[in-house]
Amino acid sequence: MATIRLGDKAPDFTADSSMGTINFYDYLGDGWGILFSHPADFTPVCTTELGTAAKFKDEFDKRNVKMLALSVDGASSHAEWIKDINEVQNTTVNFPIIADEDKKVSDLYDMIHPNADNNLTVRSVFIIAPDKTVKLIITYPASTGRNFYELLRVVDSLQLTAYHKVATPANWKKGENVVVSPAISTEDAKGIFSKGVEEVKPYLRMTPDPTA
């Protein structure tokens, strides 16, 4: 079983899904991706999550992020489950759910944690950059549903920090001030960030969000 760490190349795979056969790299194209796993079909927390994910799809689309879910049940089971999700969540599931009955993808991404459950995937989240490297991993226990506002927030942070020499502070939201990278001197930072640099401490310099 593989162990995926930040910065690793995300494993490619081809698998059946609720929308037909999907090759992961082809599906992502040159954009970002978010892959999130679910313990099984017809589970209560997952039903709320997938409905919520569908409602957030437009926000992920704006950020050029392709959504892809996974469950260890088959595509026909997914199709029936999606009917329930659409009904109880008052939405339309508008992204594929990978069918992983043989647990091939779950094993590739180390989604099964034996001390939690021998057969079911935990609630893993992987955010993949356009170069196919893994930029974020969050693992929740099966009993805790994901916060999609937080997933959007971390996408905003990852995309900002990928293209600018900044980091984002605690509880940061898009448009708020950011931290100047420690690798840049204050003098250089003042030349780079035209909106100004505030030196709180020599090691803590703040500047307005360069994309705001």
Question: Mind giving me the DSSP string for 58-85?
Answer: HHHHHTTEEEEEEESS-HHHHHHHHHHH
CA distance 60 to 41: 23
pLDDT at residue 129 tops 60: yes
- Residue 6 placed within a domain: no
Mean pLDDT taken over the chain: 92
CA distance 96 to 123: 17
CATH number of domain containing 54: 3.40.30.10
pTM of the model: 0.91
**Residue ranges making up the domain that contains 19:** 14-144
pLDDT at residue 165 tops 90: yes
Q: If we measure between CA atoms, which residue out of 16, 88, 106, 78 comes closest to residue 52?
A: 88
Residues 6+ apart with CB under 8 A from 200: 206
> Per the structure, how many domains does the chain have?
2
Mean pLDDT to the nearest integer, 15-41:
94
User: Facing residues of 23 across strands?
Assistant: 14
- Residue 4 placed within a domain: no
pLDDT at residue 32 tops 90: yes
CATH number of domain containing 169: 3.30.1020.10
pLDDT tens track for 50-83: 999 999 999 999 999 999 999 988 999 999 999 9
User: 83 φ, ψ to 5°?
Assistant: -60, -45
HSE of 203, CA atoms in CB hemisphere, 13 A:
0
Pick 209 or 115 by higher pLDDT. Answer: 209
Is 209 an annotated catalytic residue?
no
Pick 2 or 146 by higher pLDDT. Answer: 146
Does residue 20 share a domain with residue 110? yes
- Residue 187 placed within a domain: yes
Does residue 122 share a domain with residue 31? yes
Helix (H) or strand (E) holding 127: strand 123-128
User: 53 φ, ψ to 5°?
Assistant: -55, -40
Q: What is the pLDDT of residue 85?
A: 95
Mean pLDDT to the nearest integer, 34-45:
88
According to DSSP H, which parts of 4-68 are helical?
24-28, 44-62
- Residue 81 placed within a domain: yes
Out of 22, 46, 99, 160, the active site residue is: 46
Does residue 84 share a domain with residue 18? yes
The DSSP bridge pattern shows strands 22-23 and 65-71 to be unpaired
